[in-house]
Structure 1
C-alpha cells in the first residue's frame, strides 16, 4: 500500500476531512466498490441525460477522482501514469462515460499545470472538475488588457459540469493555451453519438471573450513530451479497457444465471465446449489488453521516453484497444440477440467500447504508419 500512496500523493483537503484515518489511497481503495456501485446504478441515467448523473459527479468528487492530476502542493494527487490507468479502468468497468470524464480532467489539469505557475490560483480547489481541448479551435487577438478569443472547440467531454477549461488557441499564428471558467463560454450541445453518450462531449464556444494576460501562455515543446502523450493515451484506453471488463462481467453473470444456449440440448451455457472456448478467448483478449496497458504505463513512469519510443508504444496501445473490441464482439455472440436489449448493460458497454476505442490516440493504421516511419528514419540515419 505504501507504493500506491506514493503514486497518488496526499489527500485533497475535502476528502481528507471525510476520511482522515490512513490516507487518501487507502480510503479510495476501500471505497472502490461503493463508487462502482453508484456509477453502475446510474449509468443508464448518465447516458439518457448525455452527461454524468449528479450522483456520479458527487461520488467521483468525494472519492478524489477529480484530484488525480491536481498538483500535490495544491492538495491533489499528481498520480502516476500507472495509477491513472488503473483507476480509470476500474471506473470504466462500471461506467465508461464516467471514467472518460475523469480522464479528460486528468489531461486538462496536466496541461494547466504545464502552462501556468501553480501559485497563480488555477488550482484553487483540488477537486474542481476541469475539461479541455488541445485542438486550437479558436483565434486570439492581443489587446491591452489581455487576449480577445473567438472560436469553437468540439468534443469537450464533461464541459456542462466542469468549472474550468484548458483550451488551445492560435495567437499570431502560434499555438497558445488559456485557462478560463466554463461559465464564460457558450455550450453548443453537438454531441450526438451511438456510444460514450454520457461524456457530454459538446462544443465550447468563445465569442469575443477577454482572457487576462496571466491566463494566456505560449505552448512549449515540453508540454507535449512523449511521457505526457502516453499519459493522455492512457486516459482514453483506461475507460475502454474498463468497458470491456464490464462486458465480461455481464457475460459471466449470464453464465452463472443458468441460462442455456437456445435450440440446443444443453442445460446451461457452461456445458457447451464452444461457449467455454469463446468465453476463454474473450477473457484472454481483455487480460492481454490490460497487461499491455500496465507494462506501457510502468515504462512511462520509470524513464524518459524517446521520440522512437512514442510511436512504438502508441501502436501497442492501439492493438490493446482492438483486443478490447474483439473481446466484446465475442461476448455479444455468446449473449445472442438478448445482449442488444436496451435494458441489457452489455449493449451499452459495446457501444462505448466501439466509440472510445476509435479515438485518435488509439488509431491503429496511423500507429503502424508512424512506427514504420520512425524505424525507417533510424535505419536511414
Structure 2
C-alpha cells in the first residue's frame, strides 16, 4: 500500500476536523447553487488547494494517493466541495507538467484554483504572438470560484490543419452563465463559460501533437516531475473515484447515526438494528465500500510505481484503470442505494443529508468519464485483444 507522508497526514487530520461543518452547510450550498464562503475558507485554511502545487512554488506536491485520501474525506462532509476541490487540484497537477514559464505565472498563488472544460468546443486561431480563442464550454465545475480556466480547443491554421490544444486563460476573461440548476451536485456551480475573441499568449497554449512530433524526431523533452508522471487520463479517471468513496463512507456513517431508536413502521420491530435484513444491508453496503477502496488502492499503487520509475502504463494497464475506476464507482453507488432504501420515508426530507448524498452519487455516476458500461466495454475489448476505439487512455 502506498504510504501517506507526514504533510498529507496533517492535511487529512485538518480536513477530518472540518467535515461536520461542511456537512452542516450542505443545504445552504444546495440552495445557493455554489459552495458557501465558509466551506471555501475552511478548505483553503486546511491547505487543500495547495495539494498538487510543486514545492518550488510553495505547494505540498502530494502524491495521487495522498490527494485522493483528502478528497474522499472532504466528500464525507460535502460531495460538491469534494468534486470542486478535485477539479481545481487535478488541473493544478496538469499545470505542473507544463513549461516553466507557464508554471511560474499560474503558481504565483500556491493555492491557485483552476476550473476546466475537457470537451474541445472552442477554436484557437493563430494571431500575432499567440492565438485568438472563441468557444463555449458547459459543465464547467468550479468556474464560479476559479482563478484560471483550462480548456480544450482546436487550433485552426491557415493551411486547414487542425490540432487539439490545452489552453489556460484567467477566468475573468470568460463570460459565465448562471445556468447551473441541477438535481445533484447542485453546489458545484458547473456553469457554462464563453470566450469571445480572447487573446491567448503562445506560452499558455500546449499542443500535444507538437510534443509527439518532437519525440518522433528524436528531440528529448523534459521528464515529468519526479514521481508525478501518472499519465493524464489514468490520473483523472482514478482520482475521480475518491469523491465517490467519500460519499459512500459519509452515507454509511449517517445511516448508522440515524439508526438508534428507529423502529420499522407498521411492524412489531421497534429497533431496526435488530432486524436481520437491516444487518445484511449494512454488511452489504460496507463490503461494497471496502471493495471500492481496495480497487482504488490497487490503481494508486500501480500509477505510483510507474511514475517513480519514469515508466508509462501499458495500454492494458490504462484500460484496467478505466474499467476498475468505473466499477469502483458502481460499488459506491450501490452501497448508497442500499442505505437510502433502508432509511425509511423520513430520509426524503431536505434536512436529512443522506438524501442529498444519494442524489449526488446518482447524478455524478452519469459523468461521461465513469459511466459503467462504456468503461467496461473498453476494458473488455482490451482483454480480448481488440482495438479500444478511443484515444482517451
Per the TM superposition, whether the score is higher than 0.5 is: yes
Q: 2:180 is matched with which residue: 174, 186, 191?
A: 191
Map of 2:244 onto structure 1: 240
Structure 2 distance, partners of 1:120, 1:94, is: 33
- Match of residue 284 from structure 2: 281
Partner of 2:272: 269
Q: 1:103 to 1:249 in 2, by over 3 A?
A: same
2:8–2:66 CA contact under 8 A, matched in 1: no
1:128 equivalenced with 2:112 (yes/no)? yes
Aligned match of 1:147 in 131, 148, 172? Answer: 131
Give the total of aligned pairs.
359
2:303 alignment partner, one of 300, 305, 317: 300
Match of 1:218 among 207, 210, 213: 207
Equivalent residue for 1:87? 70
Q: How does 1:56-205 map to 2 (within 5 A)?
A: 56-117=39-100, 120-172=104-156, 173-205=162-194
> Among 45, 48, 71, which residue is 2:31 paired with?
48
- Which residue number in structure 2 is paired with residue 311 of structure 1? 319
2:195 aligned residue: 206
Q: Is the 8 A contact 2:175 2:194 kept in 1?
A: yes
Q: Distance in 2 between matches of 1:24 and 1:86?
A: 13
Distance 1:227 1:143 in 2: 31
Structure 1 residues 153 and 44, CA gap change in structure 2 (3 angstroms): same
Tell me if the contact between 1:226 and 1:307 (Cα under 8 Å) persists in the aligned partners.
no
Secondary structure (helix, strand or coil) at the match of 1:262 reads: coil
Residue 344 of structure 1 deviates from its aligned partner by 0.9
Match of 1:369 among 359, 377, 383: 377
- Runs of 4+ in structure 1 over 6 Å off: none
The whole-number CA distance in structure 1 between the counterparts of 2:280 and 2:345 is 19
Q: Check the 8 A contact 1:156/1:202 in 2, yes or no.
A: yes
SS of the equivalent of 1:51 reads coil
Which runs of no fewer than 5 residues in structure 1 stay unpaired? Answer: 6-22
- Whether the aligned pair in 2 keeps the contact of 1:157 and 1:201 (CA below 8 Å) is yes
Equivalent residue for 1:347? 355
* Distance across 1 between alignment mates of 2:367 and 2:302: 22
State whether residues 85 and 297 of structure 1, in contact with CA within 8 Å, keep that contact through their aligned partners in structure 2: no
Query: Is 117-126 or 335-344 further displaced after alignment?
Result: 117-126
- Conservation of the 8 A alpha-carbon contact between 1:128 and 1:163: yes
3-state DSSP class of the match of 1:294?
helix
Which segment drifts farther, 247-256 or 94-103?
A: 247-256
Tell me if structure 2 keeps the 8 A contact 1:226–1:310: no
RMSD in angstroms over aligned alpha carbons? 2.1
3-state SS, counterpart of residue 181 of structure 2: coil
C-alpha contact (below 8 Å) 1:130/1:162 kept by paired residues: yes
TM-superposed CA distance for 1:34, in Å, is 2.2
Q: CA deviation at 1:123?
A: 0.9
Secondary structure of 2:194's match? strand
**Within the alignment, does 1:260 sit opposite 2:263 as a pair?**
yes
Q: Gaps (5+ residues) in structure 2?
A: 157-161, 213-222, 307-311, 388-393
C-alpha distance after superposition, 1:195-246 (max 9, x if no partner)? 01111111111011111222222124699x8733222113321111211111
Pick the aligned partner of 1:331 from 336, 339, 351. Answer: 339
| SS of residue in 1 equivalent to 2:231 | helix
Q: Do 2:238 and 2:299's aligned partners in 1 also have CA atoms closer than 8 Å?
A: no
Distance 2:59 2:36 in 1: 24
What SS does the corresponding residue of 1:165 show, helix, strand or coil?
strand
> Does the 8 Å contact 1:115/1:177 carry over to 2?
no
Q: Please state whether the residue corresponding to 1:335 is helix, strand or coil.
A: coil
Cα separation, 2, equivalents of 1:30 and 1:235:
20
**TM norm structure 1:** 0.89
In 1, distance between residues paired with 2:367 and 2:237? 9
